[in-house]
Amino acid sequence: MSNATKVLGWGKCSVKNGNSTFNDIVENSTQLSVEEGQEQEATIEGGSAEGRKKAPDKYILTYNRRIGDPSEVDVGYTEEGGDVEVEPELVGAVGAKLTGASKHVAVKYDTTDGLVAVYTHKTKGTTGADGKLTDITFPVKAT
Residues 32-54: pLDDT tens digits?
999 988 787 777 777 777 777 77
* 130-139 residue pLDDT tens: 989 999 999 9
**pLDDT of 131:** 84
**pLDDT of 51:** 76
Strand runs labelled E in 3-139: 13-17, 20-22, 31-35, 39-43, 49-54, 58-66, 76-78, 84-88, 96-98, 102-110, 114-122, 136-137
Identify the bridge partners of residue 39 per DSSP, sorted by sequence position. Answer: 54
| Residues of the chain with confidence (pLDDT) below 70 | 1-8
